[in-house]
């Protein structure tokens, strides 16, 4: 499912490289979308549509936290970039994100936040050192925060 993905709808995009875990009653889903920038995505679908599809996916999968990792080559700068979208469905999942950002040197810079129709908060980050960070790194760090979270 890598490579040309522009023809996939958002549900298919979310499912193409998706893993989920249940950590102490917190359901976490992480999907990786390769060769697809937020700009291309918004141009194709609009923020409204992406927001609706995130709501649908989160609800259908009973997620508390949904992370979308976008990795792509920025054609203008000719560099590899990652964007990290963190969807919080409640105060606890927001608190987990805040703790994660404090405890871990992921060098994430908040880019923008938006709210979906169901009121979930989507925090979008740029990652400064793209090569250093992936699901294999983010999930264990997140699991530790959830394990320690009361």
Alpha helices in the chain (DSSP H): 10-16, 38-60, 91-103, 135-148
Mean of all residue pLDDT scores within the chain: 87
pLDDT at residue number 131: 58
Burial 13-29 (b: 16+ CB within 10 A, else e): bbeeebeeeebeebbbb
Residue 80 domain-assigned (yes or no): yes
| Of 72 and 67, more confident | 67
CATH number of the domain enclosing 51: 3.10.310.20
Can you tell me the mean pLDDT for 90-103? 89
Measure the CA–CA gap between 34 and 29, rounded to whole angstroms: 17
pLDDT tens per residue across span 3-31: 577 788 999 999 999 999 999 999 999 99
Domain that holds residue 120: 10-148
Give how many domains the chain has, as a whole number: 1
Quote the pLDDT of residue 56.
97
Predicted TM-score (pTM) of the model is: 0.88
In-domain check, residue 105 = yes
């Amino acid at each position: 499912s890598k490579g040309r993905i522009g023809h996939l709808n958002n549900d298919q995009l979310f499912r193409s490289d998706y893993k989920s875990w249940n950590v102490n009653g917190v359901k976490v889903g992480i999907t990786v979308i390769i060769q697809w920038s937020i700009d291309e995505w918004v141009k194709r679908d609009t923020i409204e549509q992406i927001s609706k599809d995130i709501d649908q996916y989160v609800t259908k999968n009973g997620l508390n936290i949904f992370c979308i990792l976008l990795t792509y080559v920025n054609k203008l700068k000719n560099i590899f970039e990652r964007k990290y979208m963190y969807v919080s469905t409640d105060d606890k999942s927001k608190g987990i994100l805040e703790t994660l950002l404090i405890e871990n040197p992921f060098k994430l810079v908040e880019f923008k936040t938006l709210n979906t129709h169901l009121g979930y908060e989507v925090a979008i980050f740029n990652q400064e050192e793209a090569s250093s960070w992936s699901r294999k790194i983010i999930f264990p760090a997140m699991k530790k925060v959830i394990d320690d979270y009361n």
